[in-house]
Amino acid sequence: MGKHFLNGIALVAAVLLALAPAPALGAADDAGALVRKATDALPKNTFTAQLKLTPQSQPGRDLRLEHKVVGGARASYLEVTAPEALSGIRFLFLEHPTGQPEQYIKVAAARNAVQVKDQVRKQPFLESDFYVSDLVEPQVDAYDYKFVGDEELLGRKTKLVEAVPKNSAGEIYGKTVIAIDPEDALILKRSFYDLKGNLLKVWTIDQVEKVDGVWTFRKQTMTTVPAKTSSTLETPEVKYDVELTDSVFTPEHLRR
């Protein structure tokens, strides 16, 4: 499974930031149900955040994030504010309740925004260990799931769920192993395997806390195993339940 904003750019951008609490699961719930509960628990709150993305041995990239549910889609707008060489690069991520997610990019020197497709989705996000595709949640129904173990993370007992795409055509990862805390429906780790079954990347949550009643990822790390490189994504500031207009979350807004 590609990354979780905020879990959950989780997210990205939601995968990049937070997961709201959800009811504890009973023993009878299967692996797919646990994944769906974690995905359904993503916050519906409109929010803004300041992010710091730091690739290994490189200066940090400062980003402004705005997030809102628009027409049923989880919409995230990202803009690079520093360093100056990257300032003005803009991204739009739309995660639809059905159908494939959409990703757009606008660089400062270009007139129009470009929809991200195919191999571009596997390109590093701002030269980091995160792929562009890692910043949105894929469709839950596109994968087969099974429990493959347990792991303690951040003092929480998590269930390990293996996710394998039902159709591997066009997929970046051959499978993903997801560590989920059933108590709060938090995804705390993802291990990504390539199409040959080799461990490619590991995404871990390093710090999580509640902000205004919402579980918020303060720090996360993506490690590329073969290259032995890593990048951190921090959320030093987040504000929930802010006012944002729907027009922010359109390709036209990227071109302004």
What would the mean pLDDT of 36-43 be, rounded to a whole number? Answer: 86
DSSP β-bridge partners for residue 186: 181
CB 86: neighbour CB atoms within 10 A? 17
pLDDT at position 103 over 80 = yes
Residues 203-229 as b or e (16 or more Cβ within 10 Å = b): bbbeebeebeebbbbbebbbbbbeeeb
110 domain-assigned: yes
Predicted confidence (pLDDT) per residue in 196-249, tens digit: 999 999 999 999 999 999 999 999 999 999 999 999 999 999 999 999 999 999
Q: What pTM was estimated for this model as a whole?
A: 0.84
Q: Domain containing 145: what range?
A: 18-254
Q: Is residue 230 part of a domain?
A: yes
Report whether pLDDT(29) > 60: no
Number of structural domains in the chain: 1
- Does residue 13 have a pLDDT over 60? no
229: domain CATH number is 2.50.20.10
Give 89's pLDDT tier (boundaries 50, 70, 90): very high
Say if 25 falls within a structural domain. Answer: yes
Q: How many CA atoms lie within 13 A of 8 on its CB side?
A: 29
What is the 8-class DSSP label of residue 64?
E
Whether 37 is covered by a domain: the verdict is: yes
Q: Does 238 map to a domain?
A: yes
199: part of which helix (H) or strand (E)?
A: strand 199-211
**One-character DSSP codes across 74-139:** EEEEEEEEESTTTTT-EEEEEE-SSS--EEEEE-TT-SS-EE--GGGGGSBGGGSSSBGGGGSPPP
3 within a domain of the structure (yes/no) = no
Question: Would you say 197 and 125 are in contact if contact means Cβ atoms under 8 Å apart?
Answer: no
Amino acid at 101: P
Given a contact cutoff of 8 angstroms between Cβ atoms, the answer to whether 3 and 130 are in contact is yes
Residue 7, in any domain of the structure:
no
235 in a domain, yes or no?
yes
